[in-house]
């Protein structure tokens, strides 16, 4: 039986994620931190994870702290752990594999061993901090084994796991050595949350066919354990983002850009510099638009903001070099004395500046080759002026495409189709832009960030309070 809502609300939330914080700057940093910090604060919660520091000698005793009524417990990573666990298994193995990029996946056994050790070290350090009726919410692919390790420490709390990135299809996951151990570890949790119904389907397909799991409604049983599985698409703080776009720094950016554009149309892309985001294909699609629609030349600009990420991983250095070459070639071929077709910017902007940039642009170009959700697509819509909104061109392979059907949905591998969608977006009549935007905004408001969090926690609260330890 589930606990009464009043009592349930008072249960403490414990979040475990690879990175902890920021707590005080959460509103500025935006995204998930806001939702998690809010829930942690409400319940006097605890946030556990990596401190972000890499040290020669590390302690297994967590650093304890407090910020804004939230307790923090962090561990440093050793140089070897950072290399093999974080850069290695997380970013060179699970990240590409879960984004369907077998060719970029580094299948090193010692990476997985380091991953197991770090997950165990985290669980060991954080288990003593847990109280019997805590709700423990573990986030993302860095910590899949954490639940199993917590159970091994005797933890009987309600344990939930949320995967922010896609769950791969069976044939892809089977290429990973030790995939059976990784999947079995998921059954230590009480609730498994994915971004989309499609991710849930792929998970069920895998466990039903490879692990002999029994599926009944949202319950899946294997390895003697039963978990509840569901799609909980991540949303954004819509009202907060609208405010950013229409005041302060956002408003200033919007004015400045609109002035500079002097009547030209602006396409904007905002992504971490990552090979999953489809940036090279996107640049080429834009070049194709300029090639096949010469009348667009001089009348449109494309601004791609892409701050470098994971610089220590070789595949990221490669994509960076490729994009620099492509941007140079496109500008070299099409630029005029008074017109630069592509502005490629490798720095991060504040969320308020981004909101203003989105609002000033006529087309939001979001074409990942594969993405768990993609919050930029949602932020772009929230920043628009409803009376004269821009058009979202969105990849069918972003989780967001499952909710945002009123966008212009494209296949990012089909450069001809993307170029044509850009041309369609350029000419879309005001009424159609308004209708599409209104529908997209309705969807965003209905399933926002708070709803995502509350829906997941509501299911987690129903987990049996004291389940058998592993
Ligand atoms: P990411 O891969 O980081 O997230 P995304 O969902 O687009 O991708 O979120 C990126 C966030 O960073 C957005 O809030 C965006 O505004 C911000 N950002 C991007 N570029 C920026 C820049 N130049 N300057 C400042 N801010 C910038 C992972 C998964 C996604 C999933 C999210 C949330 O890969 O699929 O949607 O988690 O679950």
Residue 199 Cβ inside 6 Å of ligand 1? The answer reads no
Residue 94 Cβ inside 6 Å of ligand 1? The answer reads no
**Could you tell me the pTM of the whole model?**
0.95
Q: Of ligand 1's atoms, which has the minimum distance to the CA of residue 30?
A: 14
Structure-token match 């959460």, residue found: 26
Q: Which of 140, 274, 371, 448 is catalytic?
A: 371
β strands within 26-165, DSSP E: 46-55, 63-67, 70-78, 135-139, 158-162
pLDDT reported for residue 299:
97
3-state SS, 221-247, equals EECCEEEEEEECCCCCCHHHHHHHHHC
445 C-alpha to center of ligand 1: Å?
Answer: 19
Instruction: Return the CATH superfamily for domain 238-446.
Output: Glycogen Phosphorylase B; (3.40.50.2000)
pLDDT reported for residue 142:
97
425 C-alpha to center of ligand 1: Å?
Answer: 24
Q: Whose alpha carbon is nearest atom 8 of ligand 1? A: 374
Per-domain residue ranges for the chain? Answer: 13-235+449-462, 238-446
DSSP string, 291-336: HH-GGGTTTEEEEEE--B--TTSHHHHHHHHHHHHHHHHHHHHH-B
Residue 375 Cβ inside 6 Å of ligand 1? The answer reads yes
Residue 373 Cβ inside 6 Å of ligand 1? The answer reads yes
Residue 270 Cβ inside 6 Å of ligand 1? The answer reads yes
The tens place of each residue's pLDDT in the chain, 470 residues long, gives 344 444 445 799 999 999 997 777 666 666 677 778 988 998 999 999 999 999 999 999 999 999 989 999 999 999 999 999 999 999 999 999 999 999 999 999 999 999 999 999 999 999 999 999 999 999 999 999 999 999 999 999 999 999 999 999 999 999 999 999 999 999 999 999 999 999 999 999 999 999 999 999 999 999 999 999 999 999 999 999 999 999 999 999 999 999 999 999 999 999 999 999 999 999 999 999 999 999 999 999 999 999 988 888 888 989 999 999 999 999 999 999 999 999 999 998 999 999 999 999 999 999 999 999 999 999 999 999 999 999 999 999 999 999 999 999 999 999 999 999 999 999 999 999 999 999 999 999 999 999 999 999 999 999 976 554 43
Mind listing the pLDDT tens digit for each residue in 148-191? 999 999 999 999 999 999 999 999 999 999 999 999 999 999 99
Q: Whose alpha carbon is nearest atom 15 of ligand 1? A: 376
Pocket test for ligand 1, best of 193, 374, 399, 444 (most atoms within 8 A of CB): 374
Angle between helical axes of 375-383 and 430-446 (0-180°, round to 10): 120
Residue 354 Cβ inside 6 Å of ligand 1? The answer reads yes
285 C-alpha to center of ligand 1: Å?
Answer: 22
pLDDT reported for residue 1:
35
Pocket test for ligand 1, best of 376, 401, 402, 444 (most atoms within 8 A of CB): 376
pLDDT reported for residue 38:
87
Q: Are 13-235+449-462 and 238-446 equal in CATH topology?
A: yes
Question: CB within 8 A of 6, min separation 6: which ones?
Answer: none
Q: Whose alpha carbon is nearest atom 35 of ligand 1? A: 372
Q: Is 164 a catalytic residue?
A: yes
Q: Whose alpha carbon is nearest atom 23 of ligand 1? A: 348
pLDDT reported for residue 355:
97
Residue 140 Cβ inside 6 Å of ligand 1? The answer reads no
Pocket test for ligand 1, best of 31, 161, 162, 357 (most atoms within 8 A of CB): 31
Indicate the CATH number of 13-235+449-462 among 3.30.1330.40, 3.30.1360.30, 3.90.650.10, 3.40.50.2000.
3.40.50.2000
pLDDT reported for residue 383:
97
Q: Of ligand 1's atoms, which has the minimum distance to the CA of residue 399?
A: 35
CA distances from 145 to 194, 327, 390, 463, 466 (A): 16, 41, 43, 19, 20
């Amino acid at each position: 039986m589930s606990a009464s809502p009043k009592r349930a609300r008072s249960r403490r939330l414990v979040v475990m994620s690879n990175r902890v914080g920021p707590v005080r700057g959460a509103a500025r940093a935006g995204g998930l931190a806001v939702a998690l910090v809010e829930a942690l604060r409400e319940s006097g919660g605890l946030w556990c994870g990596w401190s972000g520091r890499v040290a020669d000698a590390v302690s297994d005793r967590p650093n304890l702290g407090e910020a804004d009524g939230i307790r923090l417990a962090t561990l440093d990573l050793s140089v070897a752990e950072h290399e093999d666990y974080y850069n290695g298994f997380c970013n060179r193995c699970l990240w590409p594999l879960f984004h369907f990029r077998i060719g970029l996946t580094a299948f090193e056994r010692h990476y997985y061993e380091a991953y197991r050790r770090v997950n165990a070290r985290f669980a060991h350090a954080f288990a003593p901090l847990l109280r019997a009726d805590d709700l423990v919410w573990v986030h993302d692919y860095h910590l899949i084994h954490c639940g199993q390790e917590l159970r091994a420490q005797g933890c009987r709390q309600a344990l939930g796991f949320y995967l922010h990135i896609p769950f791969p299809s069976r044939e892809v996951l089977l290429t990973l050595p030790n995939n059976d151990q990784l999947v079995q570890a998921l059954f230590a949790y009480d609730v498994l949350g994915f971004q989309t119904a499609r991710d849930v389907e792929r998970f069920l397909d895998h466990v039903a066919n490879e692990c002999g799991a029994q599926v009944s409604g949202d319950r899946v049983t294997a390895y003697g354990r039963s978990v509840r599985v569901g799609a909980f698409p991540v949303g954004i703080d819509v009202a907060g983002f609208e405010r950013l776009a229409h005041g302060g720094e956002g408003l200033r950016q919007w004015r400045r850009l609109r002035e500079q554009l002097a009547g030209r149309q602006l396409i904007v892309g905002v992504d971490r510099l990552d090979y999953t985001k489809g940036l090279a294909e996107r640049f080429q699609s834009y070049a194709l638009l300029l090639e096949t629609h010469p009348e667009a030349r001089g009348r449109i600009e494309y601004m791609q903001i892409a701050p470098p990420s994971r610089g220590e991983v070789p595949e990221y250095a490669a994509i960076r070099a490729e994009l620099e070459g492509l941007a140079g070639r496109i500008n070299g071929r099409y630029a005029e004395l008074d017109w630069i077709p592509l502005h490629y910017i490798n720095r991060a902007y504040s969320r308020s500046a981004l909101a203003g940039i989105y609002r000033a642009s006529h087309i939001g170009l979001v074409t990942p080759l594969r993405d768990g959700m993609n919050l930029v697509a949602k932020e772009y819509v929230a920043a628009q002026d409803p009376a004269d909104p821009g058009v979202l061109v969105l990849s069918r392979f972003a989780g967001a495409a499952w909710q945002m059907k009123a966008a212009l949905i494209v296949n990012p591998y089909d450069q001809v189709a993307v170029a044509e969608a850009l041309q369609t977006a350029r000419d879309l009549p005001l009424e159609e832009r308004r209708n599409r935007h209104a529908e997209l905004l309705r969807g965003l408001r209905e399933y926002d960030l708070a709803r995502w969090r509350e829906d997941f926690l509501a299911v987690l609260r129903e987990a049996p309070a004291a389940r058998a330890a592993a």
